[in-house]
A = this chain, B = another copy of it.
Amino acid sequence: MSEKSTPSEKNITAAIIIIGNEILSGRTQDANAAFIANRLSLRGITLHEIRVVRDDRAAIIATVNALRARYTYIFTTGGIGPTHDDITASCIAEAFGVPHVIDAGARARLVEYYAPSGTELNEARLRMATLPQGSALIDNPVSGAPGFKIGNVFVMAGIPKVMRAMFDHVETMIEGGAVVLSSTVACNMREGDIAHDLGDIQNDFLDIDIGSYPHTGGGGAVTGPSLSIVLRGTEEGRLTDATLRVADMIRKRGDEPRISGIKN
């Protein structure tokens, strides 16, 4: 879809930056991007890009600076632990041109978190309290060391359980957009048979984002055609009209559409 077809009264945009060699080497399957994408979708925030970059200073700095200028919110995950490969905080400081300093609030959280177990707050652990100057802290109820926010950039941990807990706090710090509603019309048509008509419907509903997703069966051979047409938009009436138009078109072609997501 071109941008004009996914309007929202409040156009709030976002990008996600996943930082970590382990994703790019194929060792680890990222789960954070899909989690954040879902939560943004529920808040009416349009996610424009996801980028996965290496633990490389130049790559992180360039990516953060390119994206923070372009979108309302940037969310990063990964690289904020105590080891030598945790370079996110220092790269974000450089991207913003601010000092990378021990944050008194973050340090206090580490002291409190480690005190019960008598764990030493050594130099390595203090890295986790060393943040871009002027950052606000993001709560970490799972493992103590906070994430942080500077400007429009929210910096979270890479461990999914920790990231998810941090995101609960992040959600209190961001503004949502017009909520996007969606519907699905499933059928057994082949894409190529309805593509022309579907294109016509899209042209008549430029405010509705219509996507067509064929799926093959999970087994070794291709099973019968199966197609989901997903419609997304911010106005319920328009979404319903477009959905019924797609369903009608499929019915006229002799298949029985299965509609979900609208009242009818």
Interface residues of A, Cβ cutoff 8 Å to B: 1-3, 18, 20-30, 33-34, 37-41, 47-57, 59, 81-85, 119, 122-125, 127-128, 142-143, 159, 161-162, 180, 182, 190-193, 195-196, 198-199, 202, 209-216, 222, 230, 232
By the criterion CB–CB under 8 Å, are B191 and A84 in contact?
Answer: no
Given contacts A47-B25, A142-B216, are A56 and B1 in contact (CB under 8 A)?
A: yes
By the criterion CB–CB under 8 Å, are B213 and A28 in contact?
Answer: yes
How many copies of this chain are found per oligomer?
Answer: 2
Partner of A25, one of B29, B57, B198, B232: B232
Given contacts A47-B24, A50-B24, A230-B27, are A199 and B83 in contact (CB under 8 A)?
A: yes
By the criterion CB–CB under 8 Å, are B159 and A216 in contact?
Answer: yes
- Cα A128 to Cα B34 with chains together (Å): 29
Taking the nearest CB of chain B, how far is it from the CB of A45, in angstroms? 11
Q: Who on chain B is nearest to A48 by CB?
A: B54
- Cα A3 to Cα B212 with chains together (Å): 40
Partner of A216, one of B3, B23, B161, B232: B161
By the criterion CB–CB under 8 Å, are A214 and B81 in contact?
Answer: yes
- Listed A/B pairs (24) with beta-carbon separation below 8 Å: A3-B56, A22-B213, A22-B230, A25-B182, A26-B40, A30-B33, A33-B52, A49-B53, A50-B52, A51-B51, A83-B198, A84-B195, A84-B202, A84-B210, A122-B192, A123-B196, A124-B192, A124-B195, A124-B196, A125-B192, A125-B195, A128-B192, A159-B216, A162-B216
